[in-house]
A = this chain, B = another copy of it.
Amino acid sequence: MVRAAIIGASGYTGLDSIEIIARHPQAEVTYLTALPEECGRADKVFGRLKGKCDLDIEPLDMNKLTELADVVLCCLPHKVSMGFVPKLLGAGLKVIDFSADYRIKDIKIYEQYYQVEHTDTVNLENAVYGLPELFRDQIKGKNLIANPGCFPTGMLLAIAPLLKEGLVETNSIINNAVTGTSGAGKNPSSTFHYPNMNENIFAYGIGVHRHMPEMEQVASAVAGQDVTVLFQPHVGPFDRGILSTVYCQPKKEMSNGKLAELYNDFYKNEQMVQVCVGSPKVKDVAETNYCHVYATTAKGKIIGFSAIDNLVKGASGQAIQNMNIIFDMEETLGLR
């Protein structure tokens, strides 16, 4: 059994990680930590955990952690994470980090978007971007995985075949995405107060969302050349899921038949990515680690669509997929 600790266990990604591992036949959650004011029995913090998890969430104790865990799912926020990860790695633990701290390779861009100095550039360099469908070989056997952002996961899987094959203009990409509300995290706010958010939909982070440079970096890596992305997120009145609608200009005209062939071929060995005929629906992937994709031509453009659960394939599920890979287990254990 792989023994997993979760640091920052009191948020939604912590909850989902606990629930997924509770169904995992070869892993178990052994240690949960959070800030002192968020501690307590896990099933009091989250009523859903009654009968599934009888651990306490405790303030972090490095000795206990080292003794109890093989791997850490580090669910700390951006900027905080890089203060802990070096210690975790130093203690010989494998780390899957949910924050952006180890995703952006260009420190200047990181520091511009996150407004803080990066304090762990050594590990940043060694970290692998944990999107298994694109970087599986690099993930195997690694100690530090930068678990991807939810919006980048959605966009990248929606158009990876096009990028990889160099079929679209790399400066033409517009990613219009709609996320469910769980992406906002568990802290109440006026925006996500039920009577304000229900029956509502609107755009946010216009022109400045932090996931934009992450998308560009990884898309560029996939394409082998610089890619720019205009990313416009929206939030809608549902819990889980991101629908990405990605507009691209093809370099030359492509038939829908060719597009379907390209996608089916690209993802043919991927359990977690399913190619649809017609628009993906977020409800078909909610509470699962699947990504549904579809691409089609429309008025001279190509539209790539994807649907994921932002908390699962966009966070906790993908982390456990990465965990399965680095411990050489079957990749989809606990995830179907």
Interface residues in chain A, defined as those with a beta carbon under 8 Å from any beta carbon in chain B: 12, 22-23, 25, 47-48, 50-52, 174, 176, 178, 180-182, 184, 186-190, 192-204, 206-207, 212, 228, 230, 232, 234, 236-241, 243, 245, 247, 271-272, 274, 276, 278-288, 290, 292, 296-301, 303, 305, 307, 336
Is A200 a contact of B238 with CB atoms below 8 Å? yes
Identify 7 residue pairs between A and B in the complex whose beta-carbon atoms are under 8 Å apart, listed by A's number: A50-B290, A178-B234, A188-B188, A188-B189, A192-B193, A201-B243, A232-B245
Q: Are A48 and B181 in contact (CB under 8 A)?
A: no
Contacts A194-B192, A230-B301, A279-B203 known; A238 to B239 CB distance under 8 Å?
A: no
Closest B residue to A43 using CB positions:
B274
* Set of chain B residues within 8 Å of A25, measured between Cβ atoms: 25
- Shortest C-beta distance, A327 to chain B (Å), equals 18
Distance A192 CA – B245 CA, assembled complex (angstroms): 21
Taking A181-B195, A281-B200 as contacts, is the C-beta distance between A50 and B292 under 8 angstroms?
A: yes
Q: Which residues of chain B come closer than 8 Å to A51, judged between CB atoms?
A: 271-272, 274, 290, 336
- Copies of this protein chain in the complex: 4
Q: A25-B25, A50-B290 are in contact. List 5 more A-B contacts (CB 8 A).
A: A178-B234, A188-B189, A199-B239, A199-B240, A201-B238
Name the residue in A48, A186, A305 with the highest tally of chain B Cβ atoms < 10 Å from its Cβ: A48
B residues less than 8 Å from A187 (CB atoms): 193
A60 CB → nearest B CB, Å: 23
Q: Is the CB of A276 within 8 A of B232?
A: no
Nearest CB of B to A182, in Å: 5
Instruction: Decide: A203 near B243, CB < 8 A? Known: A51-B272, A194-B193.
Output: yes
CB contact under 8 A between A202 and B48, given known A190-B188, A195-B181, A230-B299: no
A135 to chain B, nearest CB (A): 20
Chain B residues in 8 Å Cβ range of A301: 174, 230
For A243, what are the chain B residues with a Cβ–Cβ distance below 8 Å? 201-203, 234
Q: Chain B contacts of A174 at CB under 8 A?
A: 174, 247, 301
Bound state CA distance, A122 and B31, in angstroms?
54
- Cα A181 to Cα B228 with chains together (Å): 34
Is the Cβ of A182 less than 8 Å from the Cβ of B201?
A: no
In the complex, chain B residues whose CB is within 8 Å of the CB of A195: 12, 180-182, 184, 186, 192, 239
**Contacts A25-B25, A247-B174, A299-B207; A286 near B199 (Cβ below 8 A):** yes
Query: Which one, B196, B287, B296, B307, contacts A287 given CB within 8 A?
Result: B287
Are B200's CB and A192's CB within 8 A?
A: no
Contacts of A236 in B (CB 8 A): 178, 201, 236-238
